[in-house]
Amino acid sequence: MKINSPLFEVKKGSEVKLESLINELYAVYEQNFITIDQLLLEPLSSQKKFKFSQESIKHLVLSSNHHVPDIHVEMYFLSQYTVDVEMHYKDNKHENIRYIYNVKFRLFLDAQILEVKKTGLNNSSCRKMQETDKEVLKQPDRSYSVPDKLTKNLLVHEWLTKLLLLEYALNKIQ
């Protein structure tokens, strides 16, 4: 493997049909919803003190017994069927995890899909933003293309699957 080789190779448009990419994207949307349903929605619906209420932010914590940091979850209910969710590791003790993700996504409860809006690696709170980071922020967002959406959703799918393997479970509602 070359040192500077890209992590993902993008095929030419003629090699991949857009329709198959869209079908794959929606399959990942559905699979991610199933996973987040197992991690968050089912445990939430079984708790007596939890109520789905519009325009309120719910602060939750996912924990694991595998010596990994807790995950902070914020859920903002836009409507009865739409929820914006943000997830990130709660503390700065990241020795036992390989990648420090943060993710923002929208749940469509009626359609049972999860659409990733934004994902990335957490920046250390100790360091200041470097010039290269500032340049990346100035670049236009290309995340509206189907291949870009598919890539983001597949990365989140991999992370959510890892959370299930590490037996993360809903710990408390704050």
Tell which phi-psi region holds residue 55, choosing left (phi > 0), alpha (psi between -120 and 50) or beta: left
pTM of the model: 0.74
Indicate whether 133 belongs to any domain: no
Domain that holds residue 42: 18-124+147-173
> What's the distance, CA 47 to chain centroid?
23
In a domain, 9, yes or no: no
Residue 139 has pLDDT above 60, yes or no: no
For residue 2, being part of any structural domain is answered with no
In the chain, the number of structural domains is 1
Q: Is the pLDDT of residue 111 over 90?
A: yes
160 inside domain: yes
Instruction: Please indicate, yes or no, if residue 141 is contained in any of the structural domains.
Output: no
Where do the DSSP E strands lie in the chain? 57-63, 71-77, 82-89, 101-108, 113-121, 169-173
User: Is residue 158 situated within a structural domain?
Assistant: yes
Q: Please count the CA atoms within 13 angstroms of the CA of 170 that sit on its side-chain side.
A: 21
Residue 155 in any domain: the answer is: yes
Type of residue found at 130: Q
Of the two residues 93 and 18, the one the predictor is more confident about is 18
Nearest partner of 75 among 49, 104, 100, judged by Cα: 104
Q: Is residue 138 part of a domain?
A: no
For the chain, percent of residues with pLDDT exceeding 90: 43
